[in-house]
């Protein structure tokens, strides 16, 4: 299990050592994707890209059967200076072998999604689709993590204000009141099946204000 120091920011992080180990591990299962470090020196989020058709062929993805030569792209990102206060959880998976995965817990992940939809300078309907998903799962935000994120980046940067449910309800209500929900739903439509698209007709100020009440 990782120690607390394992979660400390690492300004000197580089993808290459990890990509080499990842490619070696994938090769043992007959997977031969290409890996590229897409990081920029001036950004805290370091990006890498895996691409190739060996992954989709190995997994026999149904939506790829008519396009066997199409390359599957997997984007990897790591924040070298993330906001503090996140919680973590551990899950155990058994494919292709038994292994443990440490990941951010849902409450903290929900906080970052709220930060994105409050602070993003443009409308992204997928933010609100995700928001709705968290609410339906009865996930409540990690307010400490959200406060740290808001203090680090966005219109509330550096204000060190206390973030609680009342503040969040007010901020979300103001944001929801300014959104063109037809435009927001149009951003999501192409990612959903026809039956799922019908639920987007409910997207409105009233619909999302009721979602806020459930937080």
Domain membership of residue 12 (yes or no) is yes
Residue 161 CB neighbours (<10 A): 11
Q: Do 127 and 200 sit in the same domain of this protein?
A: yes
- pLDDT digit string, tens, across residues 125-156: 999 999 999 999 999 999 999 999 999 999 99
Q: Are residues 119 and 195 in the same domain?
A: yes
| 47 and 138 inside one domain | no
Whether residue 97 lies inside any domain: the answer is no
For 20-50, the pLDDT digits (tens) are 999 998 888 888 888 999 888 888 899 999 8
pLDDT value, residue 5: 44
Range in 57-66, 88-97, 121-130, 139-148 with the lowest mean pLDDT = 57-66
Question: pTM, whole model, 2 decimals?
Answer: 0.83
| Residue 92 belongs to some domain of the structure | no
Residue 148 lies in a domain: yes
The boundaries of the domain holding residue 173 are 107-213
Residue 149 lies in a domain: yes
The DSSP line for the chain is ---GGGGS--TT--SHHHHHHHHHHHHTTT---EEEE---TT-SEEEEEEEESHHHHHHT-GGGTT-TTPPEEEEEEEESSPPS---EEEEEE-SSS-EEEEEE-HHHHHHHHHHHHHH-SS--HHHHHHHHHHHHTT----HHHHHHHHHHSSTTTT--PPP-HHHHHHHHHHHHHT--HHHHHHHHHTTS-HHHHGGGGG-SHHHHHHHHHT-
Residue 52 within a domain: yes
Please tell me whether residues 77 and 134 are part of one structural domain.
no
Among candidate residues 66, 81, 96, the one where a domain is terminated: 81
- For residue 123 the two structure tokens come to 């409308």
């Amino acid at each position: 299990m990782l120690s607390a120091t394992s979660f400390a920011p690492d300004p000197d992080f580089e993808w290459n050592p990890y990509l080499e180990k990842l490619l070696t591990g994938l090769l043992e299962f007959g997977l031969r994707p290409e890996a590229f470090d897409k990081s920029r020196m001036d950004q805290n989020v370091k990006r890498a890209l895996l691409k190739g058709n060996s992954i989709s062929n190995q997994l026999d993805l149904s939506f790829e059967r008519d396009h066997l030569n199409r390359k599957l792209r997997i984007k990897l990102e790591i924040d070298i200076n993330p906001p503090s206060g996140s919680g973590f959880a551990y899950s155990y998976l058994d494919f292709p072998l038994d292994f443990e995965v440490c990941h951010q817990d849902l409450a903290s992940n929900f906080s970052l999604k709220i930060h994105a939809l409050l602070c993003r300078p443009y409308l992204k309907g997928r933010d609100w689709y995700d928001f709705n998903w968290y609410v339906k799962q009865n996930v409540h935000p990690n307010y400490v993590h959200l406060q740290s994120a808001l203090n680090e980046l966005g219109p509330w940067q550096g204000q060190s204000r206390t973030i609680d449910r009342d503040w969040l309800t007010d901020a979300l209500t103001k944001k929801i009141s300014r959104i063109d929900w037809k435009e927001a739903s149009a951003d999501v439509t192409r990612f959903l099946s026809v039956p799922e698209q019908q639920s987007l007709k409910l997207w409105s100020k009233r619909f999302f204000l009721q979602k806020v009440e459930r937080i």
